[in-house]
Amino acid sequence: MFDPLAGDSGTGTLTIAEAAAATGVSTHTLRYYERAGLMRDPVARATSQHRRYSADDIRWVTFLTRLRTTGMPIREMARYARLAGAGEGNEAERLALLTEHRRRVLERLDEVQRNLAAIDKKIAVYQERIDR
């Protein structure tokens, strides 16, 4: 049976399946992200060697998904994770990374919007052709 506290001794952590449910990424992907160096530090383990995700881990993964959804490559996320995992002192570098990402996202958004506008025109043409 499913036991949310299995091996957890009531410390409020989540199993990988629960973390997957909480973040919306698959368990496969959670392991993949860890292997790819996206977790700052390796996820904690129960005595059974099973992963135990803290609330902080969940928040981190959630932020990772925001970076992914906006198109940041895994390599760059790994770089950001390395910086974040190194502790204080590199905030400027982290800021630069995020700011540059933001710039690219806005650029891309603009490109998509411009292309969508052209598609909209085509749609209007079909619409009119059909209405007649």
Binding pattern for the stretch 7-26 against DNA, x by CB under 7 A and - elsewhere: x-------xxxx-------x
Query: Considering the rule CB under 7 A, would residue 48 count as an interface residue with DNA?
Result: yes
Residue for token digits 């996206």? 38
Query: Considering the rule CB under 7 A, would residue 68 count as an interface residue with DNA?
Result: yes
> Quick one: which segment of 27-35, 86-94, 100-108, 114-122 binds DNA (CB under 7 A)?
27-35
60-88 as b/e: b if 16+ CB within 10 A: bbeebeebbeeebeeeebebbbebbeeee
Kindly tell me which residue out of 47, 56, 66, 89 binds a second copy, with binding defined by CB under 8 A: 66
- Burial (CB count <10 Å: 0-12, 13-18, 19+), residue 102: exposed
Q: Closer to a second copy at the Cβ: 45 or 104? A: 104
For residue 95, what is the enclosing H or E element? Answer: helix 91-131
Q: Is residue 70 classed as helix, strand or coil in its secondary structure?
A: coil
Q: Return residues touching a second copy (CB under 8 A).
A: 63, 65-67, 69-71, 91-92, 94-95, 98-99, 101-102, 105-106, 109, 111-113, 115-116, 118-120, 122-123, 126-127, 129-130
